[in-house]
Amino acid sequence: MGSVKESVWADVIGQVRVNHPDLVRGWFASLKPVDLDQGTLKIRATNHAQVRYLDKHCHQAFIESAQAATGRLVAVAFDTDAPETVDQGPLSFEISNELPLNDDYVFDNFVTGPCNRLAHAASLAVAKAPGKAYNPLFIHGATGLGKSHLLQAVCQAARNTGAINRVMYISCETFTNHFMEAVERGGLNQFRYRYRHVDMLVIDDIQFLAERERSQEEFFHTFNTLHQSQRQIVLSADCSPSQIPSLEDRLVSRFNSGLVALMDRPCLETRMAIIRNKAKLRCVEVPEEVVRFIAGKVDSNIRELEGTLIKVDAMSHTLDGTITLDLAHQALNGSSTRDVAIPEIIEVVTQQYAVKRAELLSKKRSKSVAFPRQICMYLSRELTQLSLEEIGGYFGGRDHTTVLHALKRINTQRETDSRLNQTLEDLSDQLRHPRSLSKL
């Protein structure tokens, strides 16, 4: 173990106070550095409430400050030597541990095409033979492409066959929340029994294990226990295992040990089939010319296709109840916003933060440049149809994981920074409804 010099610790705390004043609390003065061992700076708090606050709100801030103070790529872990208190009543995972299943999310209602055929076939095989066909099954793709539909279809089909009894379908956030609660309340034995004695564990959005070292450690052992006993594991994420930032190599290798199936954006024919299927489920008659028009206009994801169909249907009920091509034109034109280009985003951000365009596209990593660059990446993801790779390539050839980190950083800060929220809303409004953007 390596002791932490007082000057280094003072620098860490000082940088947190300067760079993240909204996060600082009076009791930060009582925080103590325990040691710097194997690349992790361990920081001791007075009680468990403080540890919960630090883990939830301050983890990234302390990592950045520690790395700047030490000049090394170090991680940060918070703990306390205060005795754990066990609250009255059952732990939350003993009461409810599953996301509700949507009755419409079954295999019969899933539209297949070149974009998702492998993921669909693998899911069917897993539902018919849990623990034998593909274990683990890892499905990845962008938001709104049907990953949750397939995961829920696997759960419902597996239950209906009667081959297995205990199927658990949860989000990654639920897993990590249950784990932290079990640690805080001394319920690890109950937690592990609950999660390691299911016949099928299905977890949505597993990418949120990123940068959660203790949760990754616990999931690693849970994974091993289930896999060695030939119990099925099904996971989904918005990227492949190797692209999840800060995911331990041993987890990446285990996720890759089964079948990794990509779900891509649907082609025109698949989008048309999806619209027909959604219309059938809603008992709505949609002319073929309207189906083709909507599918041609909305090419991002399935949720937007369904949302557009719902809007067209709702507008038809304000008239004579008939869906026509003119009505579809009116619905889409009325809701459409102008296309936003990344150069426009860069212009408004450079004006807002008084930085130069060349600096945003450079390799500079100082806070005065890195933060506006992250704002640009965030707005690019929100206001354009570009992929993570395309966005990263525009900003100095950065990769997919850099953009993911930027999105997570901005989303995390938005939770506690009302001024940042207002700034982002103002910039988005300016880009969607430009008044005086200069020529680029």
Q: What is the pLDDT of residues 332-367, one digit of tens each?
A: 875 444 567 888 899 999 999 999 888 888 888 888
Domain boundary among 80, 112, 130: 80
Query: Are 330 and 277 within one domain?
Result: yes
Query: Are 323 and 289 within one domain?
Result: yes
Contacts with 121 (C-beta within 8 Å, 6 or more apart), sequence order: none
Q: What is the pLDDT of residues 219-275, one digit of tens each?
A: 999 999 999 999 999 999 989 999 888 899 999 999 999 999 998 888 888 888 988
Query: Are 367 and 237 within one domain?
Result: no
Structure-model confidence comparison of residues 65 and 143, the more confident one: 65
Query: Are 370 and 413 within one domain?
Result: yes
Across the range 281-286, mean pLDDT stands at: 85
- 1 occurs within a structural domain: no
Q: What is the 3-state secondary structure (H, E, C) of 260-298?
A: EEEECCCCHHHHHHHHHHHHHHCCCCCCHHHHHHHHHHC
Q: What is the 3-state secondary structure (H, E, C) of 118-133?
A: HHHHHHHHHHHCCCCC
Query: Are 376 and 396 within one domain?
Result: yes
Query: Are 317 and 254 within one domain?
Result: no
Residue 306 has pLDDT above 60, yes or no: yes
Domain boundary among 241, 263, 285: 263
Instruction: Kindly report the CATH number assigned to the domain that includes residue 388.
Output: 1.10.1750.10
Residue 388 has pLDDT above 50, yes or no: yes
Query: Are 243 and 110 within one domain?
Result: yes
Q: What is the pLDDT of residues 174-217, one digit of tens each?
A: 899 899 888 887 888 889 988 998 999 999 999 989 878 899 99
Query: Are 231 and 163 within one domain?
Result: yes
Mean per-residue pLDDT over the chain, rounded = 85
Query: Are 296 and 352 within one domain?
Result: no
Query: 364's torsion region: left (phi>0), alpha (psi -120 to 50) or beta?
Result: beta
- 21 occurs within a structural domain: yes
Query: Are 320 and 371 within one domain?
Result: no
Instruction: Kindly report the CATH number assigned to the domain that includes residue 34.
Output: 3.30.300.180
Instruction: Kindly report the CATH number assigned to the domain that includes residue 316.
Output: 1.10.8.60
Could you give the 3-state DSSP secondary structure of residue 204? strand
Other C-beta atoms lying within 10 Å of the C-beta of residue 194: 18
Residue 422 has pLDDT above 90, yes or no: no
- 88 occurs within a structural domain: no
Lowest mean pLDDT: which of 90-94, 124-128, 202-206, 375-379? 90-94
The domain total for the chain is 4
Residue 281 has pLDDT above 90, yes or no: no
Residue 91 has pLDDT above 80, yes or no: no
- 391 occurs within a structural domain: yes
- 439 occurs within a structural domain: no
Q: What secondary structure letter does DSSP report for 89?
A: S
Q: What secondary structure letter does DSSP report for 29?
A: G
- 86 occurs within a structural domain: no
Instruction: Kindly report the CATH number assigned to the domain that includes residue 200.
Output: 3.40.50.300
Residue 372 has pLDDT above 50, yes or no: yes
In the structure, what pLDDT confidence band is assigned to residue 84 with cuts at 50, 70 and 90?
A: low
- 89 occurs within a structural domain: no
In the structure, what pLDDT confidence band is assigned to residue 88 with cuts at 50, 70 and 90?
A: very low
Q: What secondary structure letter does DSSP report for 184?
A: H
Query: Are 165 and 72 within one domain?
Result: no
Across the range 314-332, mean pLDDT stands at: 82
Q: What is the pLDDT of residues 1-51, one digit of tens each?
A: 467 888 899 999 999 998 888 888 888 989 999 988 888 999 999 888 889
Query: Are 98 and 70 within one domain?
Result: no
Domain boundary among 30, 46, 80: 80
Per the structure, the complete domain to which residue 143 belongs is given by 94-263
Residue with tokens 């073929």: 288
